[in-house]
Amino acid sequence: MRKKLWIPLVAGIVLFVIAISQYPKLYVATGYGAKCMATGIFVAGREARNIQENDLDYSFVKYTNSKINYTEKSVITSFYGLAAQKAVYREGYGCYLAGESSGNVSMSGHSLPSVTDEQSWKKLWPEGDAKFDSIIPGLDLNKLQVALDNAFDLPGIKEKRTAAIVIAYKGKLVAEQYWKEQSINAETRLAGWSMNKSIVNAMVGILVKDGKLALHASAPVVEWLKDNRKDITISDLLQMSSGLKWNEDYGDISDVTTMLYREPDSYRFAIGFPAEKQPGALWKYSSGTANILSGIVRRAFNNDQQYISFPYTRIFRKIGMNSMIMEADASGNLVGSSFGYATARDWARFGQLFLQNGVWQGDSILPRGWVDYSRTPAKASNGVYGACFWLNRSKSLPAAPDDLYACEGHRGQRVFILPSRNLVIVRLGFAEDKFNHNEFIKAVLATFKMPSQELPR
């Protein structure tokens, strides 16, 4: 009996020692926990237990505890009472961390463009949400179903932890599947994480089309005008080749974790870093860069109402991506690096927009040549990255054609765009290390018998 009593005591002492030695890191864990829990409940409509088990199941985050205020629509998360952080929901803008020094910007009075089509379920995707159920020549539906089934866990097993898969072929929704055991369905908004960087790409592209930004001109950041950062262009930022110092380590107190979970103004924080290389000389993946671009977009408008409405008016509503919510930080910046949530069908719509060279039902949403630019390798990236899109030029996915490019996000979020195969493949989930994207793409491609003119060159 005494031995059993000592077990929780020893465990408590160990946790206390860890908490003291790693105290600053706890704020990253609690910020992550509060943010994910609040968004999962108040944006995605998921259950708290489901979020705790799937979104907050690793590292220090798994030991956090969240108190949910459904009336206030807020969440306070702590590590056994330590390092508490609070996330608050704002209607239409998702959730933000309300730190003690946040200087929070009220978003009241701002409104998002309304969704006008209430009968979308009657129309075929992508104009609506109906699945294409006619026979498609060259597609083995039985084989495709096996590929989908193999991408999900068996009941009671959590290894691959795939939440949703959507496959579109020649502009038609031909397959979709969801993790029903965890109550994920076609209406569930799921986190895109860094896939949102590709949305920032589209936002910048539209402003280039409008003449408000110039791709190869110096970035309009006033704070950079008096030092060597004045030579950084919009293109350098899009291609993650700005030369700015940055640490993207998610497992420690780093620039990215501080920006996302401790700083109220992601733009102000990110522009404060010095240059360590000449623009274009070094490729360095940076979430800070994406938020610099989001802040530049913000400053292209006369007021925040125009800024907040911009991606909805010019992208989401036009392509029927109506579930999308881009979240703003405490200071009102859209966190384009990480915080956007949409259904799997809507993530596929975004991929379809790029597959169609930025044209939607005859409307040129993106400027001519923008898609080609987006999938052109950044000079210093060795073929792995374009402009806020990952590339397969280096054959990181050996089973996929070279022309594949993708939106990629934390924990295995993917929108794969395959122009030579006329395919968009979306895989969303809660883990990446046990899911083999290459084998999944290989299995999906094997279900299509492609005419010779569609084979990759």
Per-residue pLDDT tens digits for 99-140:
744 445 556 557 788 786 655 667 899 999 988 888 888 899
Query: What stretch of H or E contains 20?
Result: helix 2-21
| pLDDT score of 31 more than 90 | yes
CA angle (189 as vertex; 187, 192 as ends), nearest 5? 140
Average pLDDT over residues 407-414: 97
| pLDDT score of 455 more than 70 | no
Residues contacting 24, CB < 8 A, separation 6+: 253
Assign 3-class secondary structure to 280-332. Answer: CCCCCCCHHHHHHHHHHHHCCCCCHHHHHHHHHHHHHHHHCCCCCEECECCCC
Summarised one tens digit per residue, pLDDT across range 221-243 is 999 999 999 999 999 999 999 99
Summarised one tens digit per residue, pLDDT across range 175-214 is 999 999 999 999 999 999 999 999 999 999 999 999 999 9
pLDDT number for residue 456: 40
Q: Identify which of 430, 415, 338, 327 has the alpha carbon closest to the alpha carbon of residue 39.
A: 327
| pLDDT score of 394 more than 80 | yes
Q: Identify which of 420, 417, 419, 421 has the alpha carbon closest to the alpha carbon of residue 406.
A: 417
d(CA 386, CA 238): 8
d(CA 435, CA 364): 36
| pLDDT score of 20 more than 90 | no
CATH 3.40.710.10 residue ranges in the chain? 190-454
Residues contacting 346, CB < 8 A, separation 6+: 320, 321, 322, 323, 324
When the pLDDT of each residue in the chain is averaged and rounded to a whole number, the result is 92
Q: 423 - beta bridge partners? A: 169, 418
Q: Identify which of 157, 146, 45, 35 has the alpha carbon closest to the alpha carbon of residue 97.
A: 35
Whether residue 163 contacts residue 430, with contact meaning beta carbons closer than 8 Å, is answered with yes
Summarised one tens digit per residue, pLDDT across range 334-383 is 999 999 999 999 999 999 999 999 999 999 999 999 999 999 999 999 99
Instruction: Give percent of the chain above pLDDT 90.
Output: 81
Lowest mean pLDDT among 302-311, 386-395, 443-452: 443-452
- Report the range out of 7-11, 16-20, 248-252, 311-315 with the highest average pLDDT: 311-315
pLDDT number for residue 135: 82
CATH fold for the domain made of 190-454: Beta-lactamase (3.40.710)
Summarised one tens digit per residue, pLDDT across range 44-96 is 999 999 999 999 998 889 999 999 999 999 999 999 899 999 999 998 889 99
Strand order in the sheet with 390-391: 172-178, 162-169, 423-429, 413-418, 405-409, 390-391
pLDDT number for residue 111: 75
> Which residue type sits at 287?
S
pLDDT number for residue 109: 57
| pLDDT score of 426 more than 70 | yes
pLDDT number for residue 107: 61
> Which residue type sits at 309?
S
User: Residue 22 half-sphere exposure, CB side, CA atoms within 13 Å?
Assistant: 18
> Which residue type sits at 237?
L
